[in-house]
Amino acid sequence: MNTALALAAPSWLPARESVLFGVYVPTLLLAFIAAAGLSWVLDRILTRVGAYRYLWHPSLFRLSLFACVFGVLGLSIYS
């Protein structure tokens, strides 16, 4: 049995690494950076609207918002 063929991932799975400027980086790192940017934009929108006046703990909400955005991006990549 050829071990190289046994360890290869099926073609329908997404790539676990991406090449960025010639360096292999985990795809979740790129999703993490994208989630940070998207969370920042959503945070600015919610600040302008005044939504944080109605929240008990704005910092906890910001962390939860980031976790939800990162979770959605991660699941969209790997599912």
How high does pLDDT run on average in the chain? 84
Q: Tokens 């109605």 identify what position?
A: 54
Residue 13 banded pLDDT, cuts 50, 70, 90: low
Which pair of structure tokens corresponds to residue 58? Answer: 């704005």
Task: Considering only residues 54 and 15, tell me which one the structure prediction assigns the higher pLDDT.
Answer: 54
Confidence tier at 1 by pLDDT (50, 70, 90): very low
One-letter amino acid of 55: L
Per-domain residue ranges for the chain?
Answer: 3-78
For 3: left if phi > 0, alpha if psi spans -120 to 50, otherwise beta; the answer is: alpha
User: For 1-79, where are the E strands, in sequence order?
Assistant: 17-20, 23-26
Tell me the HSE value of 14 on the side-chain side, using a 13 A CA sphere.
12
pLDDT of 5 reads: 43
Q: Can you give the pTM of this predicted structure?
A: 0.75
